Chain A
Amino acid sequence: MRKEALRTFLLSALIAFLLTFMLFTPWEQDKEARLFFKLIILLLMLTVLLSYVQSIKQAERIKRVELTYTVIRCSNCNYKLEREYREGDFVFKRVGICQCGGSLYIDMIYTIKPQRPSKPWLLR
């Protein structure tokens, strides 16, 4: 992540430098050279954009952690409890006695992937 940010920064600095260089150089006549310069700048800009996109994709991959939940039910009444999954949980495990006297068991263990984080405006 940090390496990529540094690269983006260096490339942007280079572009800024080239742009200023171009602005303050009086070669109105030399059209080919100017075209060449413009092309280089365009390419650099594309590189910056690509590395930006790449870094966002990477960040997205890291952020998407799966979450697992355990649903506990009573075999007698309508009691239902949803909590985070703990090691040792398994479906149909008896986990205690309900207030009504029925036995509590794990009814479901499911995993959800959180939604993708909203993308920055450039990639929407």
Chain B
Amino acid sequence: MPDSPLLELRGVNKSFGPVHVLHDIDLKVYPGQVTALVGDNGAGKSTLVKCIAGIYPVDSGEFFFDGKPVSFSGPRDAAGLGIEIVYQDLALADNLDIVQNLFLGREIRKFGMLDEATMERKARETLASLAVRTVKSVRQSVSSLSGGQRQTVAIAKAVLWNSRVVFLDEPTAALGVAQTRQVLDLVRRLADNGLGVVLISHNMNDVKEVSDHVAALFLGRLAADVETKDVTTGQIVELITSGRSGSMGLSAAATNASM
């Protein structure tokens, strides 16, 4: 284990009405490390991210950032701590252009007015750093972009700020081979720069390649949080599909309880 975790979750619970989606989740995000958050469809991965984003209020549980207790009651809280999120259902406004989307909610102002020049320059720098080749202009409206390009804009939005933790919810799901490569490289680069990165993915090759830890969710419970090098792809798949693999994972009682 490296230094202390940047972000720590303890005993997080979340229900939507009668549906108990997250059960006592404990999760640690370390600086400079990629944590892969895996789990089947509906396991609760996106819900967990949205709880941290302050989009869904949690029922119970504690959050610590840099060891200090924090709470996430609105989207600004996470951003204020330097936590950025790339959502699975991309949070982009179609009617705005790329620059406007990148700075949405955090516009740079000069004399109370929007400082378009600075924003446009920074947007271009960021996109260039992400090796975005296909976007014709940073003033293009987002509605005119392809799925992959939109994904890149969403990621750029997260890395534009000096963030310390970045959550990426299936960032490569809509991407072609080359762009997936770029995103994975970027994920690694972010971690190498000392950020805590949480990558949600269904692709085990990606997980094995890029992550340091694997946290497996099974029906809303954290089945295991292990170092990637200690597990095989087969074991990860087992954790995802049945919540346990050999000595790892949930006890039989717990898996039955959540069935």
Same complex origin of A and B: no
